[in-house]
Amino acid sequence: MLRRAIGRYGLTLTFIFGAAVFPVWADEGAAPEAKKAGDKDKGVVSVELGKEVYIKRCLGCHGAEGAGDGPAALRFKPVPRDFTKGLFKYKSTPHGSVPTDEDLIKVVTNGLPGTGMPAWKSIMKENQIRSVVQYIKTFAPQFKDAAPKPITIGPEVKSSPESIEKGKALFKELACFMCHGEEGRGNGPLAPSLKDNLGRHVQPRNLTKGWIFRGGGARENIYMRVNTGLMGTPMPSFADKLDNEKSWHIANYVNSLSQYPGVPDWNVAVMAKPIEGDVADDPDDPRWNDLERHSFPLVGQVTIDPRMFTPTVDMVTVKAMYNEKDIALLVIWDDPTKSVATPAAGETVPEVFDDAIAVQFPTKLLPGTQKPYFIMGDINNSVYVARWNGRTNAVDEFNANGTEVRVGLRITPQAEVNWQFKGKGTYKQGQYKAVFKRPLVTEDKETDLQIQPGIFYPIAFTAWDGSNGERDAMRSLSAWYSLYLEVPASNDRFIYPTLFLLVVVGVEWWIARSYRNGNGNGKQK
Amino acid sequence: MEKIKKKGMPPGLRVALSLALFYLFLRFIVQPPLPFSVIFMYMAMALAGAIMYLTLFFDIKEVIVNPIYTFLGGGVEGGVAKGGRYALLVAMPLVVWFGSYQKFNKEIQPPLDPRVIHPAPPVEFTGLYNPFNVEDKETLRKSVADGKEIYYKNCIFCHGDLLDGDGIYAHGFNPRPANFQDPGVLPMLQESFLFWRISTGGISLPQESTPWSSAMPKWEDMLTDEERWKVILFLSDYTGFVPRSWE
Interface residue of B30, B70, B156 to substitute, partner A, most A CBs within 10 Å: B156
The amino acid occupying position B214 is S
Any alpha helices (H) in B27-181, and if so which ranges?
36-57, 60, 66-73, 79-104, 137-150, 156-159
Residue A332 has pLDDT above 50, yes or no: yes
A52 touches chain B (CB under 8 A): no
Residue-level pLDDT at B36: 86
Residue A172 has pLDDT above 80, yes or no: yes
Q: What does the H/E/C string look like for A352-380?
A: CCCCEEEEEEECCCCCCCCCCCCCCCCCC
Helix (H) or strand (E) holding A500: helix A492-518
Confidence of residue A26 (pLDDT cuts 50, 70, 90): very low
What residue in A sits closest to B168 (Cα-Cα)?
A116
Vertex A505 angle, CA A503 and A511, to 5°: 105
Residue-level pLDDT at A405: 62
Q: Other CB atoms closer than 10 Å to residue A113's CB: what's the count?
A: 18
The amino acid occupying position A59 is L
A270 touches A482 (CB < 8 A): yes
CB-nearest to A479 from B157, B164, B174 is B174
pTM for this predicted structure: 0.81
State how far residue A182 is from chain B, nearest Cα, in angstroms.
Answer: 28
Count Cβ atoms within 10 A of the Cβ of residue B138 and give its class: 0-12 exposed, 13-18 middle, 19 or more buried.
Answer: exposed
Count Cβ atoms within 10 A of the Cβ of residue B119 and give its class: 0-12 exposed, 13-18 middle, 19 or more buried.
Answer: middle
Inter-chain touch A268–B110, beta carbons under 8 Å: yes
A505 touches chain B (CB under 8 A): yes
Residues of A in Cβ contact (< 8 Å) with B57? 7
Residues of B in Cβ contact (< 8 Å) with A209? none
Residues of B in Cβ contact (< 8 Å) with A71? 148-149, 152-153
**To the nearest whole percent, how much of chain B has pLDDT over 70?**
92
Which of 132-191 (A) contact B at CB < 8 A? none
Distance CA A212, CA A112 (A): 8
Q: CA separation (Å) from A149 to A15, A94, A101, A145, A227?
A: 55, 8, 11, 13, 13
Inter-chain touch B213–A482, beta carbons under 8 Å: no
Which of 223-262 (A) contact B at CB < 8 A? none
CB-nearest to B168 from A116, A404, A498 is A116
A404 touches chain B (CB under 8 A): yes
A478 touches chain B (CB under 8 A): yes
State how far residue B131 is from chain A, nearest Cα, in angstroms.
Answer: 24
Residue A144 has pLDDT above 80, yes or no: yes
Distance CA A149, CA A476 (A): 42
Confidence of residue A499 (pLDDT cuts 50, 70, 90): very high
Q: Other CB atoms closer than 10 Å to residue A87's CB: what's the count?
A: 20
Count Cβ atoms within 10 A of the Cβ of residue A417 and give its class: 0-12 exposed, 13-18 middle, 19 or more buried.
Answer: exposed
The residue-averaged pLDDT of A75-97 equals: 92
* DSSP states along A312-348: S--EEEEEEEE-SSEEEEEEEEE-SS---PPPPPTTP
Residue-level pLDDT at A240: 93
Q: Which residues fall within 8 angstroms of residue A348, CB to CB, at 6 or more apart?
A: none
Complex-level ipTM = 0.82
Residue-level pLDDT at A208: 97
Instruction: Say which range, A311-315, A379-383, A409-413, B166-170, has the weakest mean pLDDT.
Output: A409-413
Q: Could you report the per-residue pLDDT of B164-199, keeping only the tens digit for each?
A: 999 999 999 988 999 999 988 888 888 999 999 999
A222 touches chain B (CB under 8 A): no
Residue-level pLDDT at A390: 95
CB-nearest to B50 from A11, A375, A498 is A11
Inter-chain touch A508–B89, beta carbons under 8 Å: yes
State how far residue A241 is from chain B, nearest Cα, in angstroms.
Answer: 36
Q: Could you report the per-residue pLDDT of B2-49, keeping only the tens digit for each?
A: 444 445 777 888 889 999 999 999 988 887 788 888 999 999 999 999
Distance, first Cα to last Cα, chain B: 65
Distance CA A490, CA A42 (A): 63
Q: CA separation (Å) from B203 to A371, A378, B169, B200, B218?
A: 12, 8, 18, 7, 7
Inter-chain touch B221–A500, beta carbons under 8 Å: no
The residue-averaged pLDDT of A179-206 equals: 94
CB-nearest to A15 from B46, B98, B201 is B46
